[in-house]
Amino acid sequence: MRSRIGSRVFLALLALYFALPLVAALLYSLATKWGDTVLPSGYTLHWWVDVFSRPEVSGALGRSLVLTAVTLAIDVLLVVPAAYWSVVHNPRIGSVVQTVTVIPFAIPWVVIAAGLQLIVKDTVPQLFGTFWLLAAATAAIAFPFLYWAVENSLLAADARRLSEAAATCGAHPMVTLVRVVLPAIRGGIVSGSLLVAATAMNEFALAKVLVGTRYETLPLWSARVFTSRTGNDPNALAVITIFTFGLLFALSALVVWLGRGKSASSTLALARTSSSAEKG
Amino acid sequence: MTTPQVSTPVAGDARASGASRPPAALGGRGPAALGRRLLRLLAGWLPALPLLVFTLGMLVLPALRLVHDTFALRSGGFGMDNIQKVADNPVDREAIANSLELGALQATLAAAFGMPAAWLISRMRVAGRATWLALMNVASNFAGIGLAFGFVALIGTTGMLTHLLDVSFPATGSFTGMNIAYLYFNIPMFVLLTLPAVAVLKDDWWEAAQVCHATRRQFWRRIGAPVLAPFAAAGWLLIFTWTIGIYAVAYALASGPQSVKLITLQIGATLESSVFGLERAAVLSVLLMLLAIVSTVLYRLAIRRATRWL
């Protein structure tokens, strides 16, 4: 009995610890004025309207969305054919790619950014500090999420046998890919893409090192406002904080929801979505 | 960016072009056979080539470049001078010590809170478990700059909890402050990593142990702990590696007063000043890579040992 009460208290304290910083940020985004009191003196939606009408914020949001779209396009174009060929024709591709996925998984992204910066500086200086370098780097660190998801769904759909069956019926390989394989692995592409999108929306280290102020994404804007001593703007920052959190949470909830029922390891999917959030 | 054409199997029929087959099937010698072998090899790899080339350029080469720059000397040739310089620099030494300490402490605390939490959550009914999984998901998505802001709004000098309890918390940029903030994502991470593992410890095992007149303590010492230990070790290693490599939260928190020095922050600052000592960033980066490699290898070993019981 005593241990049961003990574990309840333990879980309640843990829940409180998880809830409080989020509540504090949420209250800040709704507060009219919050001085030396526990709770704000009044509530308003003013900041939510105000922040997104500022050109620097809507600009940063737009840049983050463009970055996400380009990153997704690069990853889908590169990963889907490779994963397809690996599962259907040449499994050795898979083992090479799995080895490469260890790099963004284990090595800090700021280290990858450092290496890229050193290379670009004296081999392709025209890429230095550009959007394309950032997009390519983001695609490189996020590609494992898409590769794992696509490979899993190719295996689950038994794409190898599907392709063989289609070939027996005389279908051209391209027709097989577009009309048989792609529809069968759509779920994998979508959930992998959501993880890539979450990574690109929240990525900070690569953006900070590779482009800095030249292409201010939403995380870079947050960091600049947060660290500036003078133009401190907590309400605006709180709005963007809650907005980013809501976006990431929605994306990962969608991934979990899409993967429901397929293999009991929905917790593993969760761990993967959160690892993308944490490393940024 | 060219789209790799999946539909161009150079060597005809899909099954025949599988590169895993021994190429001797068609026999023959001379340039014709060699050409055919090359074509077949190409057909086996072509659709994956763009991805492989891309990751080689964006991930493998940067890593190799850092290793190169660590040993390359300004005066030409190779040597240990750059490493020696970092080892002699008190700021770098402090950063390295702080990062290692932070990683080890975080991994240990995450395990200390996460293991019992995972155990309790795994024993809940479906609804309770779903609620807690959702909460863990919420917590682990509140990351980066936003998380730093949340903690400053909570326990900063004018934070909510600071006013409510009328105490002064440790500065968010200090070692203790960072530990408080980092646990926010490391505990959920540990729970999510070990939840599948604690399900391994089946209830029948406890019943079987009871049949043999084992006490609860004996059960935990002889069965529970040995089965769960490799999983806990694997989780510890991942948290350790990830914590050392974190940049966004650290960058934001370290902008505050009494901030602590960390390896990733030193790398970022060096790259930004970019006038002197880029090799210092390379040395520190290689150190992080080495730590990542060692702990990945150990992680693999731990997982192999852990899954014996699955």
Q: Which DSSP string corresponds to B47-62?
A: GGHHHHHHHIIIIIHH
State pLDDT tens for residues A122-147.
888 899 989 999 999 999 999 999 99
Helix axes B144-155, A218-227, angle to 10 degrees: 30
Question: Does residue B187 have a pLDDT over 60?
Answer: yes
Contact A226, B148 (CB under 8 A): yes
What is the token pair recorded at A102?
Answer: 């260890």
Q: Give the best residue of B191, B239, B247 to mutate against chain A (max A CB count within 10 A).
A: B247
Distance between CA atoms of residues A81 and A86, nearest Å = 8
Distance between CA atoms of residues A230 and A62, nearest Å = 26
* pLDDT score recorded for residue B281: 92
Question: Does residue B25 have a pLDDT over 50?
Answer: no
* pLDDT score recorded for residue A110: 94
Distance between CA atoms of residues A64 and A66, nearest Å = 5
Contact B59, A112 (CB under 8 A): yes
State pLDDT tens for residues B258-306.
789 999 999 999 988 765 678 899 999 999 999 999 999 999 898 888 8
Q: At B3, is the pLDDT very low, low, confident or very high (cuts 50, 70, 90)?
A: very low
Contacts of B295 in chain A (CB under 8 A): 106
Average pLDDT, chain B: 84
* pLDDT score recorded for residue B15: 42
CB-neighbour burial class of residue B283 (10 A; exposed 0-12, middle 13-18, buried 19+): buried
Among the partner-chain residues B140, B264, B296, the one whose CB lies closest to the CB of A278 is B140
Q: At A46, is the pLDDT very low, low, confident or very high (cuts 50, 70, 90)?
A: confident
* pLDDT score recorded for residue B309: 67
Q: Give the best residue of B138, B141, B288 to mutate against chain A (max A CB count within 10 A).
A: B141
* pLDDT score recorded for residue A229: 64
Cα-Cα-Cα-Cα dihedral sign, residues A142, A145, A146, A151 = positive
Q: Give the best residue of B41, B51, B185 to mutate against chain A (max A CB count within 10 A).
A: B51
Q: Among all chains, which residue has been given the structure tokens 């300004």?
A: B74
What DSSP state is assigned to residue A65?
H
Q: Among all chains, which residue has been given the structure tokens 């025949």?
A: B16
* pLDDT score recorded for residue B12: 40
**pTM assigned to the model:** 0.87
* pLDDT score recorded for residue B7: 41
What is the token pair recorded at A4?
Answer: 């049961």
Could you give the count of Cα atoms lying within 13 Å of B35 in the half-sphere of its Cβ? 4
Mean pLDDT value of segment B35-64: 92
Start-end of H helices in chain A? 2-30, 46-53, 55-88, 91-106, 109-123, 131-156, 159-168, 173-176, 182-184, 186-202, 205-210, 218-227, 234-258, 266-279
Closest CA to A96 of B22, B54, B294: B54
Mean pLDDT value of segment A77-96: 93
* pLDDT score recorded for residue B106: 97
B236 has a chain A CB within 8 A of its CB: no
Distance between CA atoms of residues B259 and B265, nearest Å = 11
* pLDDT score recorded for residue A255: 85
Higher-scoring residue by pLDDT: B199, A237 = A237
Q: At B30, is the pLDDT very low, low, confident or very high (cuts 50, 70, 90)?
A: confident
Contact B296, B242 (CB under 8 A): no
**Taking a contact as any Cβ pair under 8 Å apart, which residues of chain A between 19 and 48 contact chain B?**
20-25, 27-28, 35-39
- If you measure CA to CA, which chain A residue comes closest to B162? A38
Residue type, A154: L
Asked if A86's CB is within 8 angstroms of B52's CB, the reply is no
Query: A8-17, A102-111, B113-122, B189-198: which range is least confident on average?
Result: B189-198
Distance between CA atoms of residues B67 and B268, nearest Å = 17
**Min Cα separation A189/chain B (Å):** 16
- If you measure CA to CA, which chain A residue comes closest to B268? A209
Average pLDDT, chain A: 87
Instruction: Characterize A227-261 residue by residue with b for buried, 16 or more Cβ atoms within 10 angstroms of its Cβ, and e for exposed.
Output: beeeeeebbbbbbbbbbbbebbbebbbbbbebbee
Residue type, B178: M
* pLDDT score recorded for residue A40: 76
> The complex's ipTM?
0.89
B79 has a chain A CB within 8 A of its CB: no
Distance between CA atoms of residues B245 and B242, nearest Å = 5
Percent of chain B with pLDDT over 70: 89
Asked if A97's CB is within 8 angstroms of B52's CB, the reply is yes
* pLDDT score recorded for residue A172: 84
Among the partner-chain residues A110, A222, A249, the one whose CB lies closest to the CB of B145 is A222
Contact B274, B293 (CB under 8 A): no
**Min Cα separation B236/chain A (Å):** 14
Contacts of B267 in chain A (CB under 8 A): 110-111, 114
A63 has a chain B CB within 8 A of its CB: no
**Min Cα separation B133/chain A (Å):** 8
Among the partner-chain residues B50, B59, B65, the one whose CB lies closest to the CB of A118 is B65
Asked if A10's CB is within 8 angstroms of B117's CB, the reply is yes
**Min Cα separation A45/chain B (Å):** 19
What is the token pair recorded at B174?
Answer: 């200090």
Asked if A115's CB is within 8 angstroms of B66's CB, the reply is yes
Mean pLDDT value of segment A211-234: 86
Q: Give the best residue of A16, A28, A29, A118 to mutate against chain B (max B CB count within 10 A).
A: A118
* pLDDT score recorded for residue A97: 95
B201 has a chain A CB within 8 A of its CB: no
* pLDDT score recorded for residue A280: 58
Question: Does residue B308 have a pLDDT over 80?
Answer: no
How far is residue B104 from each of residues B97, B171, B217, measured CA to CA in Å? 11, 21, 28
Distance between CA atoms of residues B259 and A141, nearest Å = 29
If phi > 0 it is left, if psi is from -120 to 50 it is alpha, else beta; for residue A133 that is: alpha
Among the partner-chain residues B14, B278, B292, the one whose CB lies closest to the CB of A118 is B278
Question: Does residue B238 have a pLDDT over 80?
Answer: yes
Contacts of B193 in chain A (CB under 8 A): 271
Could you give the count of Cα atoms lying within 13 Å of A96 in the half-sphere of its Cβ? 18
Q: Among all chains, which residue has been given the structure tokens 């070993």?
A: B301
Of the ranges A257-266, B72-81, B92-101, B186-195, the best mean pLDDT one: B92-101
What is the token pair recorded at B286?
Answer: 């290689």
B277 has a chain A CB within 8 A of its CB: no
Which long-range contacts does A66-71 make (Cβ < 8 Å, 24+ apart)? A66/A131, A67/A131, A67/A134, A67/A135, A67/A138, A67/A200, A67/A215, A67/A217, A68/A197, A68/A200, A68/A201, A70/A131, A70/A135, A70/A139, A71/A135, A71/A138, A71/A139, A71/A142, A71/A196, A71/A197, A71/A199, A71/A200
**Min Cα separation B247/chain A (Å):** 6
Q: At B23, is the pLDDT very low, low, confident or very high (cuts 50, 70, 90)?
A: very low
